[in-house]
A and B are shown apart, each in its own frame.
Chain A
Amino acid sequence: MATLALDATDVAKRFGPVTALDGVSLAVAHGECVALVGESGSGKSTLLRAFNALTRPDRGLVRVDGHDVAAADPVALRRAIGYVPQDGGLLPHWTVARNVALVPVLMGRTDSKALASAALDSVGLAPGQFGGRWPHQLSGGQRQRVAFARALAAGPRIVLLDEPFGALDAITRGDIEDLFLTVRRRTGLAALLVTHDLHEAFLVADRVAVMHAGRIAQVDTPAVLLTSPATPYVAELLRRARVVTGATT
């Protein structure tokens, strides 16, 4: 049996009185992109962060590429997984080139500069033009491209994205979504993407997991999800998304 890229079994997590995850299971195959959708507080970010050990579940098994996260060295694990947060999370006191070279440098790679240049190129930013800039000199879309480049520079096989398109305007957002699709096609990355936008999920993901109150209500391809919602909550979510679509287009 081929190992899964990401794999969670019956994972639970409480923060004080709040139950963030209430027995969640999810599998992401190598090369696959799964989107986690749901409202704020549904537990989607908590689940994402369980995979790179930023949160420690109270119960359940979390595996990355077949290895138990609880037993892994978190630092080595995180270096092997790409990560793109909302707003980029670029270090404001480092240049673009240094930000992108971060993970290769952490891994002690001597070719980190070359890797950073290649990564910048791959997201459509000329290294010569952008490498020496400071993050605050970039537009929102450029910052997000740099964040992508940083996540990809060391050539991970898995990338975690936490609302990476959330703070962008519609046009920029479309560009970055295209970029994401291109990169995935080229590299065959496995990706777990948190978003609160169903349209975006349908556009970029192979399968969509709808989260509600710490549980996964349904995981299916967009087509199946649209035709046969498993619960009234999922049906309502789809209905509302359509209403929004109708109003804006």
Chain B
Amino acid sequence: MSRGRAVAWGGAVVVAVLIATAWTSARQAAPGDAGRPVVVGSKPFGESYLLAELFAQILEARGLPVRRTFGLGGTEIIFPALRQGAIDVFPEYTGSGLLVILKAPPVSDPAAVFDIVSREFARQYDVRWLAPLGFENTYAMSIRTEMAERLGLRTLSDFAAVSGEMRAGFTADFIGLPDGLPGLRAAYGLAPKTVSALAPAVKYQALVDGRVDIIDAYSTDGFLERYPLTVLVDDRRFFPPYDAAAVVRGALARERPAAVAALSELSGRLGVTRMRALNARVEVNGEPVALVARDALIDLGLVAGSTGAATPASARQETSLARYLWDRRMAIAAMSARHLWLAGVSLAGAILVGVSGGVALSRTRWAEPVTRGVGVLQTVPGIALLAFMLPVLGIGTAPAVAALFLYSLYPIVRNTVTGVRGADRGVIDAAEALGMTPWQVLAWVRVPLAIPVIMAGIRTAAVVNVGTATLAAFVGGGGLGDPIVAGLALADSRMVLSGAIPAAALAVLVDVSLAGVQRALTPAALRERLESGAAW
């Protein structure tokens, strides 16, 4: 099957070119020059958006151009992105820096923690911590006040004693991180009856509704004051201090002192009371992050202007979802176009590689092991895959397309191999016996007969791809994942829907159009059998 091997090589070359192109385009963003914008990043939760927006606005107020890359998927994405120069600054907490990034043992003195992280980040990563912003946002293990009073629970030790009866609802991060559940288990013997992974946006509701008994809240969460909740006292001082601060690339600090000076104006200015009030405006009232940040800067006397009291505080309830979507139609259209582009490019690559590779492989003994290997890729969680590619592809379009490409590959390869192998033995036998070359058997018989099966694989891949493309938001790749991630972070269900509804519609649309393509490509004689639902 030397022709088949040629096809496989062709496929490999195409992949290499795609990756190289993506890599180059990712690199172009990296090198610094004085005129380029300062890139501000945030993690995908409310306070991180708000702090990043404060950074962005103070920079803009001091005449520095800014690019916002918010909602990057967690420490494992955002910190490498900073080190690579894909972003210049993001808000971080000293305790996370100590435990998650440095993987150092917990220290309870805030000043000592700041000393350690500033020294070690500079030394190991060429990253600088600016002076803390003035508030701490530690874990606030919260239970319903009613239960706290009924059972006389005041401290984490009290709770640990009865935790065998309790249902915990923790964010996925907290369940895995050393300063989360594993640490609590070691320090307090905390052993809940059940532990559910909950998205930040739903955990308060789950607690208030009595579906879980304890959650990992943050001490500055706006929700804490809205509900009758009790924060358990960390009586063994397990949680390290989590002072919020801006972390910046060393290169930015050296080359753009003006940016560092602007960001430093916020140092020590954000007290815990102010921060909780600001978070409440965003998370509870649903006010736009940009507006809340602007008001805060005016209040602090850092920029001139009057605060936006005229804006209705609860805009969220006042317009219908339809109206909300209509008002944002241009943005939604742009995000949909971007979404389709990400899905289209990655799917095209996957079809090219998956079909040619599957056809080439199908006649060899490598088909099964390789297909299974591609299938394993499918099981790698999205964030992990993105984090894994980050050193090579950076953030933005390239890793998003690469991840979607990899996720689309399996159904295409699997169906191609199955379809090409599954051709009727009698038909293949006759084709060979009458003097078709192996290549002719493949191109004239096996592949045309496999088209319905191959197309079914492509359609599966396309729908999965469009659904998964929301992942791009975690690496700043854009698309409809942006409002979904931001909406989840800000507990704004309408924002989530403004991404989720068009994404679902796109998935259906793509499937329907591909059904048309499938019909057009399927040999005429096979159509009836296909449409009558006959198995192939």
Contact = CB atoms under 8 A, between A and B. Distances in A.
B435 A106 contact: yes
Nearest to A52: B433
B437 interface: yes
Contacts of A75: 435-437
Interface in A70-99: 75-80, 83, 85-95
Contact of B429 (A54, A94, A135): A54
Nearest to B436: A106
A151 B523 CA distance: 24
A75 B434 CA distance: 8
B39 interface: no
Interface in B503-536: 523-526, 528-529
B426 A93 contact: no
Contact of A89 (B429, B523, B526): B429
Given A75-B435, A83-B430, A106 B440 contact: yes
Given A54-B432, A86-B426, A92 B526 contact: yes
Contacts of B424: 92
Given A75-B437, A136-B529, A93 B430 contact: no
Contacts of B436: 75, 102, 106
B523 A102 contact: no
B429 A92 contact: no
A54 B449 CA distance: 22
B445 interface: yes
Contacts of A87: 426
B525 A135 contact: yes
Q: How many B residues touch the partner, as a band?
A: 20 to 34
B520 to A, nearest CB: 14
A106 B434 contact: yes
A79 B427 contact: no
A90 B430 contact: yes
Given A134-B525, A135-B525, A89 B430 contact: yes
A95 B426 CA distance: 17
B525 A89 contact: no
A85 B426 contact: yes
A86 B526 CA distance: 21
Nearest to A133: B525
B65 interface: no
Contacts of A79: 434-435
A76 B525 contact: no
Contacts of A215: none
A103 interface: yes
Contact of B433 (A85, A94, A134, A135): A85
A92 B444 CA distance: 11
A85 B430 contact: yes
Nearest to A150: B434
Contacts of B429: 54, 85, 89
B525 A78 contact: no
Interface in B416-439: 424, 426-427, 429-437
A90 B435 contact: no
Contact of B525 (A80, A102, A106, A136): A136
Most A C-beta atoms less than 10 A away, residue of B427, B430, B432, B445: B430
Interface in A146-197: 147, 150-151, 160
Contacts of A86: 426
Contacts of B437: 75
A102 B430 CA distance: 11
A76 B436 CA distance: 9
B448 interface: yes
B523 A93 contact: yes
A223 B484 CA distance: 86
Nearest to B433: A83
Contacts of A103: 434-435
B426 A89 contact: yes
Interface of A: 52, 54, 75-80, 83, 85-95, 102-103, 106-107, 134-136, 147, 150-151, 160
17 contacts: A54-B429, A54-B433, A85-B426, A85-B429, A85-B430, A89-B427, A89-B433, A91-B427, A91-B430, A93-B524, A93-B526, A103-B434, A103-B435, A106-B436, A107-B435, A135-B525, A151-B434
